Amino acid sequence: MTSEESLIESYTLWKDEIDERLKTFENKSKEDVKLEMVFCLCTPQSKAVKCWNAVLELRETSRNIIIDAENVLKKNNVRFCRKKAEYIRKAINEFECFYMWLLAALINAETREDIIYVRNCIAKDIKGYGMKEASHFLRNIGYGDLAILDRHILNVMRELGIVVTGKYLEDERSLFEFSERVGIPMEYLDLVFWKLKTGYIFK
């Protein structure tokens, strides 16, 4: 079981490592943003490392990501590969318009509330995304002040005595309050939780 004391100790111990990881999420190119968008379409109910391996394979070996997506996802044991390939095809076809909107939206985002608004729009407009995937996508392109409520994070929340309702916005608000109370910024808290449950820091 995770306690607040052990969580704070882990944060202190891993902060430098997390700092280095967070730097890799910053200053993404247009192509990087596209890859992160595809990655987060792959992650529901699938292992993140396998999903990223599939994305890298698509980038390196695929002549046409729209055509090859299903086979590559299946090869890398990404679950629901047919449905996710459909989502990828749609997202890639609409990427140019989405990217232009995203740049404008993020330029004008000055507060956490602004980022939450952008996240909510992405969750609504990208087929295959929910709140978790949209939050994950934004964190991976440098906007990490959100909650990525996957099963690892929810399990640690329960261990810490944070009430989990199953309603994303309520549980996110509870995690925001916890983050402020223990003095661990949200972008760090997610990765500390992740490492506690998996033993490593990924994305």
150 given a catalytic annotation: yes
Q: d(Cα 38, Cα 34) in Å, to the nearest integer?
A: 6
On the CB side of 66, CA atoms within 13 Å amount to 7
190 given a catalytic annotation: no
Query: Catalytic residue among 84, 150, 195, 203, which?
Result: 150
Query: Catalytic residue among 84, 132, 195, 203, which?
Result: 132
Show Cβ contacts of residue 67 under 8 Å, excluding neighbours closer than 6 positions. Answer: none
Q: d(Cα 49, Cα 43) in Å, to the nearest integer?
A: 9
Q: Which two tokens stand for residue 18?
A: 């997390």
The residues annotated as belonging to the active site are 132, 150
